[in-house]
């Protein structure tokens, strides 16, 4: 995990756990707001589909700029743990949007064995949450086709829309949750090595 983000050329110190937690809360507040807007404004299934696509790409953007993990930039080093290709160095540098210029040095992309363990634990925790979301989607869909129709008074379109929104929630969680768990759990980083008192 990196200790700071560089956004629009400004370094933001995120070595403290409480700051990272604030970032995680802000990210999920923004996603919740986007989902609430989608649920409120999408009046037809096609509107819902288009809105979902916007929310999906919005999440990918947040992941790219802030969280990392499934991107080369962001706070979390890439989970893939492989050196970046030569072509991955460029596009956003002119706008200073890239969180951190990518240099092909070990420390920039390589997760050590503890970080890999942390990554795997975070995915295990996230997997459970995503699984629960999948169960809810399955239940909702089952209700609509079940002869028993437990929720007869619920219009079928609302059930379908809710299932679609839940599916989107599952996708968003699978994109962001492992990184958020790591950012939430990791303790304050040690002082900078230069201040190290041995």
Question: Footprint of other proteins on this chain (CB under 8 A)?
Answer: 1, 106-107, 110, 112-115, 117, 189-191, 193-198
Helix (H) or strand (E) holding 6: strand 4-7
Query: For residues 68 and 179, is the Cβ–Cβ distance under 8 A?
Result: yes
Instruction: Match 């999408």 to its residue by tokens.
Output: 42
Q: For the CB of residue 17, give the shortest distance to other proteins in the complex, in Å.
A: 12
- The length of the chain is 198
Least distance in Å: CB of 74 to other proteins?
16
Give the residue with the Cβ less far from other proteins, 25 or 190: 190
Q: Looking at beta carbons only, is 148 or 192 nearer to other proteins?
A: 192
Nearest C-alpha neighbor of 72 from the set 57, 56, 86: 86
Q: Which is nearer to other proteins, 72 or 77 (CB)?
A: 77
CB closer to other proteins, 148 vs 194: 194
Question: DSSP code of 189?
Answer: P
Shortest CB 85 distance to other proteins, Å: 22
- Residue whose tokens read 């920039």: 108
């Amino acid at each position: 995990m990196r200790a700071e983000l560089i956004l629009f050329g400004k370094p933001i110190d995120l070595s403290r756990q409480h700051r990272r937690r604030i970032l995680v809360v802000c990210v999920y507040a923004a996603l919740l707001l986007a989902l609430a807007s989608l649920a409120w404004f999408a009046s037809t299934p096609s509107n819902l589909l288009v809105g979902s696509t916007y929310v999906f790409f919005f999440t990918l953007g947040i992941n790219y700029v802030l969280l990392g993990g499934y991107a080369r930039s962001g706070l979390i080093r890439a989970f893939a743990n492989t050196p970046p290709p030569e072509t991955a160095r460029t596009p956003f540098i002119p706008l200073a949007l890239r969180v951190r210029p990518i240099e092909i040095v070990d420390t920039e992309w390589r997760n050590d064995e503890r970080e890999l363990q942390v990554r795997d634990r975070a995915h295990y925790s996230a997997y459970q949450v995503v699984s629960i979301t999948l169960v809810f989607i399955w239940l909702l869909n089952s209700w609509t086709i079940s002869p028993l129709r437990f929720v007869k008074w619920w219009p079928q379109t609302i059930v379908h829309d809710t299932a679609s929104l839940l599916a989107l929630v599952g996708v968003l969680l699978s994109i962001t949750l492992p990184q958020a768990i790591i950012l939430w759990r990791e303790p304050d980083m040690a002082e900078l090595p230069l201040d190290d008192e041995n």
